[in-house]
Amino acid sequence: MDIPCKVNAIFMDYDGTIAPVDVSREESRVFPEVEKVLIELSKYIPLAIVTTKSLSFVKPRTESFAHAWACSNGVEIVLKDGRRFVPCEVYEKERYIKEIVTLARELLSRYDVFLEEKWAGTTLVGLCIDWRTSKNPPPRELVEKILQEAEKKGLKVIRYEGHPFVDIFSVAYDKAFAVDMLKKILQVDEPIMYLGDSENDNPAFERVQVPVAVIHHRNRNSPLKAKYRIEQEKLPELLKKVLEEVRR
Ligand SMILES: [Mg+2]
């Protein structure tokens, strides 16, 4: 199916979408071919990152082209000019997420697992339990125990089919909320293209006119609700078509 390339903005996920899915955090970078086109595109239309990752992780990797970042699943929205939007609720709920971090540290100390704390400024807003590239991954039951504890506290838990990590957030937002906020703040109208690669992108896919699932070996069978699909290696080609259209 032909993907409409005349769009007013592109909102995109980071991990597995514009960056490889199976590399360590330290090595994670935007695909050079993709970054090159995005830098060019950023001169014409707003580009924003919509991610469960924290700002401190994603901003240094995408600031060559992004105009805005919706981080930690929409909990923290930051614009290039420094404006920042964080809901008051995160301050009230910080203690619950802190309790979960303590629990995870206790239960998972014997395993090779990365516990990424997600901060919005000086407030703890989330935790990612990540065992990708791990030689001694934690048993699934143990991870599940932590997730159930988090749910009991009213925190938002995101499980990913086929992905070796889970996310916990203090506030129950999703990527659709992030997309709505970005539309408003950046003052862009449809059609907007959204690029994503996992189930947590589904709410965003359903929010825009041009939702595109970026397909790789980890998500080939995931239940993605995007109208359009593209193989990851074809992404530079698609972006070049968008560039041609916006230059017209
Ligand atoms: Mg992703």
pLDDT tens digit sequence for 71-98: 999 999 999 999 999 999 999 999 999 9
pLDDT given for residue 133 in this prediction: 82
Cα 143 to chain centroid distance, Å, stands at 21
Domain boundary among 169, 184, 218: 169
Percent of the chain with pLDDT over 70: 100
18 Cα: distance to centroid of ligand 1 (angstroms): 8
Q: Answer yes or no: do 32 and 139 share one domain.
A: no
Interval between CA 66 and ligand 1 midpoint (Å): 17
Residues 211 and 95 in one domain: no
In angstroms, what is the span from residue 50 Cα to ligand 1's centroid? 9
Q: What is the mean pLDDT of residues 230-247?
A: 97
More confident residue, 227 or 218: 227
If asked whether residues 76 and 99 sit together in one domain, one would say: no
Q: Are residues 81 and 199 in the same domain?
A: yes
Which amino acid, residue 99?
E
pLDDT of 162 above 80: no
Same-domain status, 73 and 43: yes
The verdict on 97 and 63 lying in the same domain is no
Compute, in angstroms, the gap from residue 14 CA to the centroid of ligand 1.
6
For the beta carbon of residue 183, count every other beta carbon within 10 angstroms. Answer: 20
The CA-atom distances, in angstroms, between 195 and each of 10, 150, 200, 209, 218 are: 8, 29, 12, 12, 16
Q: Does residue 22 surpass a pLDDT of 90?
A: no
Residue at 201 is within a domain: yes
Separation between Cα atoms, residue 187 and residue 200, nearest integer Å: 24
Domain hosting 99: range is 89-169
- Going from the Cα of 198 to the center of ligand 1, the distance in angstroms, rounded, reads 5
Residue at a domain's end among 138, 154, 169: 169
Output the CA 13–ligand 1 centroid distance in Å.
6
Q: Is the pLDDT of residue 161 over 80?
A: no
- Locus of tokens 């709920």: 93
Cβ atoms 104, 127 nearer than 8 A: yes
Helix (H) and strand (E) counts for the chain? Answer: 7, 12
CATH code assigned at 58: 3.40.50.1000
Establish if 34 belongs to a structural domain.
yes
- For residue 31, the Cα-to-chain-centroid distance in whole angstroms is 16
What percent of the chain shows pLDDT beyond 90?
Answer: 91
My answer on whether 58 and 81 are in the same domain is: yes
* pTM of this structure: 0.92
Claim to verify: residue 128 and residue 77 sit in the same structural domain: no
Decide which of 169, 192, 212 is a domain's last residue.
169
Structure-block tokens of residue 66: 């992004």
Ligand 1 (single-atom ion) residues, CB below 5 Å: 13, 15-16, 197-198
pLDDT digits (tens, 9 = 90+) for 131-160: 988 899 999 999 999 999 999 999 999 998
Domain assignment present for residue 28? The answer is yes
Is the pLDDT reported for residue 106 higher than 80?
yes
Residue 135 in domain: yes
Shared domain check, 140 and 111: yes
Question: Kind and range of the H or E element at 61?
Answer: helix 55-62
- Are 82 and 178 within one domain? yes
Query: Are the beta carbons of 12 and 50 closer than 8 angstroms?
Result: yes
- Kindly state the tokens that stand for 71: 């981080």
Structure-model confidence comparison of residues 134 and 13, the more confident one = 13
Ligand 1 centre to CA of 37 (Å) is: 20
Query: What integer pLDDT is reported at residue 51 of this predicted model?
Result: 96
Does residue 97 form part of some domain? yes
Q: What's phi and psi for 156, nearest 5 deg?
A: -90, 125
234 to 45, 86, 148, 180, 214: CA distances (angstroms) = 21, 35, 39, 27, 9
118 strand-pairing partners: 126
Counting the structural domains of the chain, the total is 2
- pLDDT confidence of residue 1: 63
The runs of H, that is alpha helices, within 71-222 are: 89-108, 140-152, 175-186, 202-205
CATH number at residue 132: 3.30.980
- Residue 118 inside a domain? The answer is yes
4 in a structural domain: no
**Same domain flag for 78 and 196:** yes
Q: Is the pLDDT of residue 123 over 80?
A: yes
Residue 100 shares a structural domain with residue 76: no
The pLDDT mean for the chain works out to 95
Alpha-carbon distance 104 to 129, whole Å? 8
